[in-house]
Amino acid sequence: MLIGEKKIARPLRWGMIGGGRTANVGPKHRRGALYDNTAFKLVCGAFDVDPARNVEFGTNLGVDKDRLYPDYKTMIAEEAKREDGVEVVDIATPNFLHYEMVKAALEAGLHVICEKP
């Protein structure tokens, strides 16, 4: 992605695991990804360890309620059933959760954004 320049034919369907309302890095990833509004479209999320907060927060972000999942495993499984399912996931949870989440996403054939470690 280059700022302001459209380099791909359509935005990638993008989901977030973690990065909920009080999270530090989630908002920064969203701002960066949506900067020029051409590369990513946020279509689903398991933004929060608390499922009710996830639905409230994700709705406020503009994600369809039926694509706000109680946990990442459900999100990956349900999105895989859709023709317009998520293509890339951003994992913005605490570090100790990264391995299992990245592994599950890669095994489902998804692209992964995960910043350290």
Residues forming contacts to ligand NAD in the complex (CB under 6 A) are 17-20, 23-26, 46, 48-49, 72, 92-95, 97, 115-116
Q: Is 84 left (phi over 0), alpha (psi -120 to 50) or beta?
A: alpha
Report in angstroms how near the CB of residue 38 gets to ligand NAD at its nearest. 24
DSSP at 34: T
Q: Which residue, chain included where needed, has tokens 């470690």?
A: 117
Report in angstroms how near the CB of residue 23 gets to ligand NAD at its nearest. 3
Report in angstroms how near the CB of residue 52 gets to ligand NAD at its nearest. 12
**Is the separation of the CB atoms in 12 and 39 below 8 Å?**
yes
Comparing CB distances to ligand NAD, the nearer of 8 and 49 is 49
